[in-house]
Amino acid sequence: MTGPKFSFDKPGKYIGQPTERPDTRRLLKGRGKFVDDIQLPRMLHAAFLRSPVAHAKIKSIDTSIAENIKGVVKILKGTDFIGIVEPYVGVLSHLAGLRSAPQMPLAVDTVRWQGEPVVMVIANSRAIAEDAASEIILDLEDLPAATNTEKALDKDEPVIHSEFDSNLAWERTVDVGNVDEVYARDDVVTVEKQFLFGRHTGVTLEARATIANYDPSENQLDIYYSGQAPHMMQFIYAKHLDIPEENVRVTAHDVGGAFGIKVHTYGDEIATAAAAKLMERPIKFLADRYESFMSDIHARDHVINSKMTVSKDGKILALEYDDLTGIGPFSMYPRTSAIEANQVLNLTGGPYTIPNYRANAKVVFQNKNMMCQYRAVGHPIAMALCDGLLEEAAAAINLDSVELRKRNLIPDDTYPTTSTTGMKLDDLSHQKALSKLIEMMDYEKLKKENADLKKQGMYRGIGFCSMIEVTNPSPMFYGIGGAPIASQDGATIRLDAGGGIHVASSVTEQGQGTNAVLAQVAADVFGVDMDRVQVTTGDTKTTPYGGGTWASRGAGIGGEAVYLAAEALKDQVLDVAGVMLQSKPEDLNIDNGHVIDNLSKEKRMSLADLARTVYYRGNELPSDMSPELIATRHFRVTDTPFVFTNGAMAAHVELDIETGIVKILNFWAVEDCGRVINPMLVDEQIRGGVVQGIGHALYEECLYSDDGQLLNTTLADYLVPMATEMPEIHVGHIETPTKTSVLGAKGAGEAGTGGAPACIINAVNDILRPLGVTNYQIPMTPNRLLDTLRSAKI
């Protein structure tokens, strides 16, 4: 150790403070740089003709009229990419048995979902490309489509990939303890429910966007990327377009929302890069809203039959369910579409002690758009399932559901421990979180108020969820299975000659405030004002190698790397300062841009003076002193697959029993994400996440016809939450730092989305249950609720 280490004993100048994000200045001036804001010389524009049907053989494609439209430069079919793009398969070796077929960027001989890209038109403008696409004649021979998840494995259902014997992509069973023995007991109560989770999607306000530019003189491919994982995409473009990895640069500037939508490999984006290489010109592709709905990954789509057994004195004894999930015709590359089902198996019941547990998940192919990881992968399913059953069980034994939770939550003083499904759990605080939640919402008063209002014909309910969230994943998530997805991240911090510092990090920014959080950590730990910190993220050429931002890892992993790099740079600076000031490095420190005496706090020299001496007047330094004022550190989580967080949330809702409209009156969330680096940003992550969760619970659903036509492809008929209907969301914190890092930060980005659906579902059923009915199909639309209410006793 050279100088004094950063101390968390007293409040930091930045760490722990609701610091404003420097990035907002740019965005509030209209100076952001999103992919579509970039115009390159000689740039062309792509549009795709997409399959109008769910399943068909391509008999012929006639482009003769389209080719002759003025301004059309090139038309490419699926076959044109053979030999140019190496096919990709979305499997991971640690998901044993997972299978999927090779994919090409465009359909080659068969189309397998409505919306699959079939022909690419490249023209001088997007409008002309669309003109041409509309003149292409596709001759398709319809094939029967497998669209019903529940029938996907039936013998007479069409098999989507002829090389497989069925539409089964993956299956896993978890069996712990002995549920059958529990069922045989006569002192227990079992509740049984079917849960239906509709498909929805991310609706990033900036749709997917790519510019690819290829320079043949250097065999260099530059990708302007609206996404979350630049290094992963660098690998993918390099491998599948046969370009050395170091010759591929992926840059993400501003990204207009991502939510997991923008962390996958999309055929239209690969085709754009391949075409740029072929044509040696920049090509821009922007998904419009219509094609976003048809081609951005969809999420969820689960049918779950489940039961929970409790003892009459309120102990959860057994949980059993079968999860059937439809993923579209392929498993998405490279993360695969089996992760969500796997997470459901891993996470369900995670907050509780459940001695007996049996679950089976089947992942099936369908002729629908592909399903893959979207914000809070598996969490909303797992939490809604367990806490929904828990509420049912509480009602069945006539116990308040909060009391049932209290009796079964893993106690705060038992960590480290292991969940029923074998997940390592540490540094969690379920009991504290629930107590704080109850206090914040004044539960007893609220219950009484609901009961009083019911006498006046108002139907109000309360729904809870205790949850865990996967954050800061280790290599056990993807890397172990062979995916080019880094779980470690790096940070390089450089002292510039002017005395400011520059941070380059491999995590990325999509609005969460990652850049601000990194700057806060760097400024505090190194000892400069935040105004003197520049941050670069989202560039494979200038940042260390790393995973990017997904699975709530930016602050926890990226922040820790910055922490370590800032300490290392500080050590370098103090070594130099020690020589220059004839002092021991351990007696010096850095504060507010100056080297100071650590005891007296007296300023000794400015960082600018120090840096200039090192950079310009090296002659003043001893010859064995390295003129190095730059440090890189990487960080990864070891010894545990994930760093779990926990939370407790509740919703207070009113159901208009005549219209089926649910109004959310209030929402509370208590979250333990370890050390909070920026409370304002954490609160906003929770709120934004909760609202996306409310979207799933009440509004959002991709609706398909029986023959696989997506029926809602506009924002007018795919509903997302809007301002008027959204509640005030009250956020509280418990801070239990993780012991896996110095900073102690865990993630917070997905908690709201993971927990909110359960709260809404449970609150509505809190109203329905006394009326003799329940509904566990989400989204809970007026149509579905009215249907349920028709058999209610009102």
Tell me which residues in 686-745 interact with another protein (CB under 8 A).
Answer: 687-692, 698-699, 703, 711-712, 714-717, 719-726, 728-729
Residues 755-784 touching another protein, rule: CB under 8 A, are 781-783
Using only C-alpha atoms, the chain has a radius of gyration, in whole angstroms, of 28
Binding mask 520-539 for another protein (x = CB under 8 A): --------------------
Binding mask 109-148 for another protein (x = CB under 8 A): ----------------xxx--xx--x--------------
Handedness of CA 569, 571, 573, 575 (dihedral sign): negative
Number of chain residues interacting with another protein (CB under 8 A)? 79
Residue in 423, 680, 742, 792 binding another protein, rule: CB under 8 A = 680
Question: What does the alpha-carbon distance between residue 681 and residue 518 come to, in Å, rounded to a whole number?
Answer: 12
Question: What does the alpha-carbon distance between residue 238 and residue 334 come to, in Å, rounded to a whole number?
Answer: 14
Least Cα distance to 507 among 565, 548, 545 occurs for 548
**DSSP code, position 103:** B
**Which region, judged by CB under 8 A, interacts with another protein, from 214-222, 235-243, 597-605, 683-691?**
683-691
Site membership for another protein, residue 50 (CB under 8 A): no
Question: What does the alpha-carbon distance between residue 503 and residue 517 come to, in Å, rounded to a whole number?
Answer: 11
The nearer residue to another protein, 291 or 489, going by C-beta atoms, is: 291
> Residue 180: which residues within 8 A CB-CB, separation 6 or more?
none
Q: Closest distance between another protein and the C-beta of residue 659, in Å?
A: 5
Residues 163-202 touching another protein, rule: CB under 8 A, are 202
Question: What does the alpha-carbon distance between residue 322 and residue 343 come to, in Å, rounded to a whole number?
Answer: 14
Site membership for another protein, residue 397 (CB under 8 A): no
Contact 318, 177 (CB under 8 A): yes
The nearer residue to another protein, 335 or 375, going by C-beta atoms, is: 375
The nearer residue to another protein, 19 or 429, going by C-beta atoms, is: 19
The nearer residue to another protein, 22 or 102, going by C-beta atoms, is: 22
Q: Closest distance between another protein and the C-beta of residue 324, in Å?
A: 24
Judged by DSSP in three states, 184 sits in: helix
Q: Closest distance between another protein and the C-beta of residue 428, in Å?
A: 25
The nearer residue to another protein, 401 or 692, going by C-beta atoms, is: 692
Residue in 255, 465, 588, 664 binding another protein, rule: CB under 8 A = 255
Residue in 21, 77, 199, 696 binding another protein, rule: CB under 8 A = 21
**Which region, judged by CB under 8 A, interacts with another protein, from 30-38, 217-225, 450-458, 765-773?**
30-38
What does each C-alpha distance from 467 to 409, 645, 651 come to in angstroms? 10, 8, 14
Q: Closest distance between another protein and the C-beta of residue 25, in Å?
A: 7
The tally of CA atoms less than 13 A away on the side-chain side of residue 428 is: 32
Residues 205-224 touching another protein, rule: CB under 8 A, are 205-207
Judged by DSSP in three states, 318 sits in: strand
Binding mask 288-327 for another protein (x = CB under 8 A): xxx-------------------------------------
Q: Closest distance between another protein and the C-beta of residue 460, in Å?
A: 19
Question: What does the alpha-carbon distance between residue 157 and residue 146 come to, in Å, rounded to a whole number?
Answer: 6
Residues 486-515 touching another protein, rule: CB under 8 A, are 510-513
The nearer residue to another protein, 37 or 154, going by C-beta atoms, is: 37
Least Cα distance to 554 among 670, 638, 635 occurs for 635
Token pair 């220059």 in the structure block, residue: 580
Judged by DSSP in three states, 748 sits in: coil
The nearer residue to another protein, 95 or 551, going by C-beta atoms, is: 551
Site membership for another protein, residue 681 (CB under 8 A): yes
The nearer residue to another protein, 583 or 712, going by C-beta atoms, is: 712
Question: What does the alpha-carbon distance between residue 527 and residue 530 come to, in Å, rounded to a whole number?
Answer: 9
The nearer residue to another protein, 291 or 320, going by C-beta atoms, is: 291
Cα three-residue angle 247-39-254, rounded to 5 degrees:
75
Contact 115, 298 (CB under 8 A): no
Contact 493, 544 (CB under 8 A): no
**Which region, judged by CB under 8 A, interacts with another protein, from 283-291, 457-465, 521-529, 555-563?**
283-291
Residues 658-677 touching another protein, rule: CB under 8 A, are 658-661
Side chain identity, residue 769? R
The nearer residue to another protein, 29 or 617, going by C-beta atoms, is: 29
The nearer residue to another protein, 128 or 316, going by C-beta atoms, is: 128
Q: Residue 536 — left, alpha, or beta (φ > 0 → left; ψ -120 to 50 → alpha)?
A: beta
Residues 578-617 touching another protein, rule: CB under 8 A, are none
| Structure token digits, residue 574 | 């103090």
Contact 331, 294 (CB under 8 A): no
What does each C-alpha distance from 632 to 40, 590, 707 come to in angstroms? 33, 19, 54
The nearer residue to another protein, 469 or 700, going by C-beta atoms, is: 700
**Which region, judged by CB under 8 A, interacts with another protein, from 8-16, 257-265, 429-437, 545-553?**
257-265
The nearer residue to another protein, 513 or 527, going by C-beta atoms, is: 513
Strand 209-215 versus strand 188-201 pairing type: unpaired
Question: What does the alpha-carbon distance between residue 556 and residue 560 come to, in Å, rounded to a whole number?
Answer: 6
Residue in 8, 12, 13, 20 binding another protein, rule: CB under 8 A = 20
